[in-house]
Structure 1
């Protein structure tokens, strides 16, 4: 069951062609603990541009590394969750009640609010990647250079684990606004299910060693983002939906990356 749930989580959260069966999906829907586990896998994949830049025989410009990171993120995870960002952006600018906001979210047309939200998330990801690239290339000396690369990789993995843990926590503590993807995930989970999620995510803070504060800041920023989005969704939408979960993943990743970079700068 655990292996099937993990396969379902990989199939749902990434573009890796596994876990696309009904059985895998049903096992995943009942196992929110799989979110942070997949976060470790995805984090390792999307950190490859920083690892390869550290191994390259020549210096690679930070903007090039940052662009490669953004491309790898969406190649590995797809853009399905960005649809949630766009829908929440459109709903956020609606001057109406909950029903009107939910109606706008179901509209396939992209509005101004959704456009701005998408632009901010992608820009936020790119600028965070630029900061990480500077961390990985700012050190002098072989050992210091390796330390910079490992710190950047640690922040990336911690941010991805944090984003997945934030989304999973929202699954456990959120109530669905209506029938759909959100309800299919939240229906089988309870608040107590968040304990193993947090336990599995916590070790990610150590991956930015010796800058543990950077990893911890990334995790906490992701979880704080989930709390803020949940509060907004309850007030404005009446609960959590699939769009809210998808947007949480994307926004929490950006917030976590920036928090990790800021913590590194201050430490």
Structure 2
């Protein structure tokens, strides 16, 4: 069974990472074709002089950051409110929260498009201009990111020891101060996880962005899709390689910091126990 499990894991990992490795290799290909003709780094150099790709990357990053920050704030507030609801109402709201996640993206994208078209006509009757672009992209991304934040924060709220909050209030904190100084630190891992998930889904999104983007502002995924009708530029391969390396570096740093924090926590626990034994003696 060992060889079977190892073979399965090997095939699975190859299926996941072989396409990425091929993309990285072809980002250094000297030609634009599908045959590797020689090693070069010119596509990385040309990438920084391609205004269209850099604009799409800038749009993707700005939309992802703004929508993720707002979705994190809204989702955290919603999770806190849901935690204080009675069981029946909470069950209903939870089911509604799952709908945007389970709902096919194509339906979500078309729904947003129809909503924004209707809003555009409504603003036009008042003599105001409403165009597809930054606003529509950010609003759409906030909406489909909020449920992911809620689902990450709620488990941490269930694990929260409310006696700590009550103790802080007994020591002179008002409810807001107790939340900001005590509760927020206890649920911080869930908030960070929700933010990172929202950021990832926002940068990765194509379907919703395709239906809500404008002519002047396109995300990277929409731009790459438009390129597939002709030929994808090798500069996209170079950009994808840089993004992959950046994500890999961030993951390594986060894992190292988590290990360091765990070791520090274990050391503090052992030191505290040792001091307690000495005190008893």
Category of TM-score, reference length = shorter chain:
0.3 to 0.5
TM-score, normalised relative to structure 2: 0.32
TM-score, normalised relative to structure 1: 0.33
* Larger of the two Rg values belongs to structure: 2
